Amino acid sequence: MLEDLVFENPAWFWLLLILPVLIFWRHFNKDKQHASVKMPTAKAFSGHSDIWSKIRPILFYLKILALALFITAMTRPRTVDVSTQTKKTRGIDIVMAIDVSASMLARDLEPNRLEALKNVASNFIKKRVNDRIGLVVYSGESYTKTPVTSDKSIALSAIEDLKYSQNIKGGTAIGMGLATAVNRLKDSKAESKVIILLTDGVNNSGFIDPKTATELAISEEIKTYSIGIGTKGKASSPVSISKNGQINYRPVEVKIDDELLQYIADQTGGKYYRATDREKLNEIYESINKLEKTVIEEKKFYDYQEKFRPLLIIGGILLLIEVLLKFTLFRSFV
């Protein structure tokens, strides 16, 4: 109840500072407020006078309390009950196109690029409560890991299941990955459609040119955020696999086609990012999360209950009591 109490005009509370001043003034001048009468003896009145003189200050404090109530009433206290009704919710359809080529096992992001991405992408999905998410993976070829779905558990499971596989054709087919993602969104009825395209290399495979795939995205009004993942310089990258299945690493120059990824983003109305470490990758997904806001329309209803009237009534009653006491029981002492 009290947490719903608000004061419409709280500035009036400053007047309460007058009350301690009045109390101090009365205490300082209490001996000057009543004339003293000198008598040869006051034994006959001593008992009666002491009792009423001790309780006489009640008149003053009744007025002080009434004044405090009036001041509080002037601040216009009231309770507010807020109810919310969601009118409309429109989510965004998002497809994450992720490079799963062997180079994604490079260790310039801890523990490697792919594992770092999985962690960040999972957090991103969890924050997109009202959106549908799909997943496309590619290396030398591309395929749909999961279609666009509102079931976050499916999308999260698909992300967790991401891994490098020798069964997928080697290379980096950026055009194929982008085209497959467009194909997953072209029939979407959502007003906003987004692709998050991530790679750590250059387009060197596939039969669809990345610029052709970009034109497809433009024609379907699909915005693309492109991400180049990998440090600048050399990174410990996989170069071969031993007979026992162990991956061999050595420092390799990181080559990412920044110009192409910038072109894709610019042409589709998105943005290009470069993730040189895990922290930067997380910042990128946070940035995309903020840029692509889900539209939620809701109505709020406010029910106000005014609480100043009881304060005025109680204050008035206290003043009435003070007046009645003043002209009855305390008539001889005021």
Confidence band (pLDDT; 50, 70, 90) for 45?
very low
The separation between CA 46 and the C-alpha centre of its own chain, rounded to angstroms, equals 72
pLDDT tens by residue, 317-331:
888 888 888 777 767
Q: What is the average pLDDT across 111-116?
A: 95
What is the predicted pLDDT for the residue at 320?
Answer: 87
Tens of pLDDT, residue by residue over 177-196, are: 999 999 999 999 888 999 99
Mean pLDDT along residues 90-115: 93
Task: Among 45-49, 70-74, 160-164, 215-219, name the most confident range.
Answer: 215-219
Per-residue pLDDT at 334? 46
Q: pLDDT by residue (tens digit) across 267-294? A: 999 999 999 999 999 999 999 998 887 6
- Those residues whose C-beta lies under 8 Å from the C-beta of residue 295, and which sit 6 or more positions away, are 88, 89, 90
Can you tell me the distance from the alpha carbon of 239 to that of 249, in angstroms, rounded to the nearest whole number?
Answer: 6
Instruction: Name the average pLDDT for the chain.
Output: 85
pLDDT tens-place string over residues 199-221 = 999 999 999 999 999 999 999 99
More reliable by pLDDT, 2 or 130: 130
Is residue 265 predicted with pLDDT exceeding 70?
yes
> pLDDT tens digit string along 296-314?
555 667 777 888 888 888 8
What is the separation, in whole angstroms, between the first and last Cα of the chain? 42
User: What are the DSSP calls for 145-162, one per residue?
Assistant: EEEEES-HHHHHHHHHT-
Domain positions in the chain: 2-33+42-81+304-333, 92-293
Share of the chain above pLDDT 70, in %: 85
Dist CA 272 CA 284 (whole Å): 10
Express as a percent the part of the chain with pLDDT over 90: 52
How is domain 92-293 classified at the CATH fold level? Rossmann fold (3.40.50)
Confidence at residue 50, expressed as pLDDT on a 0 to 100 scale: 58
Question: Can you read off the two tokens belonging to residue 322?
Answer: 């003070």
